[in-house]
Amino acid sequence: MFNEGVDIPQIDTVLFLRPTDSLTIFLQQMGRGLRLHEGKDCLTILDFVGNSNPEYDFEHKFRAMIGKHILL
């Protein structure tokens, strides 16, 4: 729903409801919830796309987040 131009640091939950092939967009969408804010202890990400699409590339997305190669 909010893909561009949104700055709400209080966000503590991100829902992925549609797939994206763009790693940049994926990281930007996740980053919307990673902003620090007083009183915010964690970020919850609910990915409703990955489980429904068996070809979804988790390794590529996770590797981009942690900067390492992982085996799933």
Answer yes or no: is pLDDT of 8 > 80.
yes
Q: 58 lies in a domain?
A: yes
- Residue-wise pLDDT tens digits, 36-56: 999 999 999 888 876 556 676
Domain holding 54, by residue range, is 13-66
Is residue 7 assigned to a domain?
no
The helix (H) or strand (E) run that includes residue 47 is strand 44-47
Spell out the residues 6+ positions from residue 56 whose beta carbon is closer than 8 angstroms to its own. 19, 49, 50
Residue bearing the bigger pLDDT, 66 or 33 = 33
**Could you give the C-alpha distances from 53 to 17, 19, 48, 59, 70, in angstroms and in order?**
12, 9, 9, 14, 20
Please state the domain count of the chain.
Answer: 1
